[in-house]
Structure 1
Amino acid sequence: MADRSRRARRIAGGITALLFALPVLFFLSAWIGSSIPRNPDWTEPDEGVEILIGTNGVHTEIIMPIANDIIDWRGHFPLGDIATPDRDYTHVSVSWGEKTFFLETPTWGDVRVTTVLDAMTGGEGVLHVAWYVRPAPADDFRPLTVTREQYRLLAGQIASQLAPEDTRRTYPGYSVHDIFYDARGTYHLGNTCNQWSSDRLAEAGIKTGWWTPMTGGVMKWVPPIGPD
């Protein structure tokens, strides 16, 4: 009986240690993986197209001019899809994430453990598209200049993430200037919203980290706003 009790305590202790170790291993591997650069020789050009990389501390977005001679985003994301299409928008932001989590958690107070667990184990992707009027650069809204060719590649990568038009649905956003679209891809712990952002940048030839499940892994490669 005593041996059985000691064995049970050892098993319980092992499970407890594992539960503590897994998050530590995850954060450590995320830090290491995000510190290894893709496109390590890339440098920011003096001229090109200015985009912005935004973050709310958990989630990243890629912000681009609405239209130039490379792409007019209104052809992919019609302004008529949002509630306030008549404002003088200058930029559009695009990010990707798990459908249920995005649609059911408009605020952090709406987050449920079951929603998070479902997203981590696999869920359908959606694009979150928001429209801005002259977004001001800030530490959480960092400008980044890319070459015209890199922007062309980036725009093509992002446009290709939309689900096919004949099956695509839209969903109301959190406000009057944003919306969700069905997207390609499956969300899971190895393919998060922040990994999506860095993958799009990397595939356009822009320097970023290899594995970036957390927002810091993306933002560490985007120079912060310097002092005036």
Structure 2
Amino acid sequence: MAAPAIHRLIRVLGTFLIGVVLALVLFALAGWIGSSIPRNAGWQEPDRGVTVMVESNGIHTAIIMPLLTKEKDWRRDFPVADIADRDRPYTHVSVSWGEHDVFLETPTWWDLSPITVARIIGLGGEGVLHVAHYVRPAPSDHARPVRLTRAEYRRLVAAIEGTIPPRPRVIHPGYGGQDVFYDTHGRYTPTNTCNQWTSDMLARAGMRMGWWTPFAGGVMKWLPEPGES
């Protein structure tokens, strides 16, 4: 290859890489701005009600709820018969939404394929629910509790129920004995992410949340760490 052609190729590749980096920076900036604009700005945590938690692994968020309250019995929607480890005294259920192939084919983030990432960015992907069963989960920086009024919790329940697929359901084994996946509706895109689902569910309940929260941090910053006033 002649030297001028090589130089042109280097310039094209350099321009492309600069464009990719700039797009990522602008996306991150837009995510920070969008997550900082509150929905339900006047909301205040009540003194009494139902305590839920929002958990995060730094990338993905989920909503933890009591398995049984007078408002909802989640055992009817997410029966313990659907998981492998059925004999534990479960008290809570964690529910989240995400992209089908990412959830089912990436037990760790090291398994995430660049081809899958490129497809999601370009075309999006089908939604799937991830449901995990817990026994008395403890509050922590990664599982932050928040109290909702009974009416707010009922709205949260109704919002999540709207994403649950009807029976019979397509069920996929989870990462361990306590979790499971269900095919569901909704399309995952770079602007409609798992974390957007979490904040949408909480905002529909009436809780203060950012308008656009593509990243986990955009959700968790609205929840005080345990022990904070």
Please indicate the TM-score interval, normalised by the length of the shorter structure: over 0.9
Q: Using a 3 Å threshold, how does the CA distance of structure 1 residues 16 and 150 change in structure 2: closer, same or farther? A: same
In structure 2, what residue type is equivalent to 1:43?
Q
Residue by residue over 1:20-60, the C-alpha shift from the partner in whole angstroms, topping out at 9 and shown as x without a partner, is: 21111011000000000000000100110000000011100
**What displacement does 1:150 show?**
0.7
Query: What is the match of residue 156 of structure 1?
Result: 158
Query: 1:35 — aligned with what?
Result: 36
Return closer, same or farther for 1:12/1:150 CA change in 2, 3 Å cut-off.
same
AA of the residue aligned to 1:181 = Y
Kindly indicate whether residue 61 of structure 2 is the aligned counterpart of residue 64 of structure 1.
no
Counterpart in the other structure of 2:49: 48
Query: How far, CA to CA, are the matches of 1:33 and 1:134 in structure 2?
Result: 34
Q: How far 1:156 moved relative to its partner?
A: 1.1
State the partner residue of 1:138: 140
Offset at residue 11 of structure 1 (A): 5.1
Q: Distance in 2 between matches of 1:10 and 1:114?
A: 25
Conserved? CA contact 1:100–1:119, under 8 Å:
no
Q: CA deviation at 1:163?
A: 1.9
User: How many residues get paired?
Assistant: 227
Match of residue 167 from structure 2: 165
Structure 1 portions without partners, runs of 5+? none
CA contact (8 A) 1:48 1:145 kept: yes
In structure 2, the partner of 1:188 is 189
Query: Cα RMSD over matched residues?
Result: 2.1
> What percentage of residue pairs aligned between the two structures are identical?
54
Q: Distance in 1 between matches of 2:93 and 2:14?
A: 50
What is residue 90 of structure 2 aligned with on the other side? Answer: 89
Amino acid at match of 1:107: T
Report the counterpart of residue 198 of structure 1 in structure 2: 199
Q: CA deviation at 1:140?
A: 0.5
TM-score where L is the length of structure 2: 0.92
Aligned to 1:207: 208
CA distance in 2, matches of 1:116, 1:8: 25
Report the Cα distance in structure 2 between the residues aligned to 1:153 and 1:46, rounded to whole angstroms: 18
Amino acid at match of 1:109: W
User: Per-residue deviation at 1:12?
Assistant: 5.0
The corresponding residue for 1:221 is 222
What is the distance in 1 between the residues matched to 2:116 and 2:11?
32
Q: Provide the C-alpha distance between the structure 1 equivalents of 2:134 and 2:150, rounded to a whole number of angstroms.
A: 22
Contact 1:125–1:183 (Cα < 8 Å) also in 2: yes
Counterparts in 2 of 1:3 and 1:179: CA distance versus 1, 3 Å: closer
Give the AA of the match of 2:77.
H
Superposition TM-score, scaled by structure 1 size: 0.93
Partner residue, 2:177: 176
The one-letter amino acid paired with 2:172 is Y
In 2, the alpha carbon distance for the partners of 1:9 and 1:111 equals: 28
In 2 relative to 1, CA 7–227 (structure 1 residues): closer, same or farther, beyond 3 Å?
A: closer
Paired residue secondary structure (1:74): coil
The answer for unaligned runs of 5 or more in structure 2 is none
Change (3 A) 1:153 1:139: same
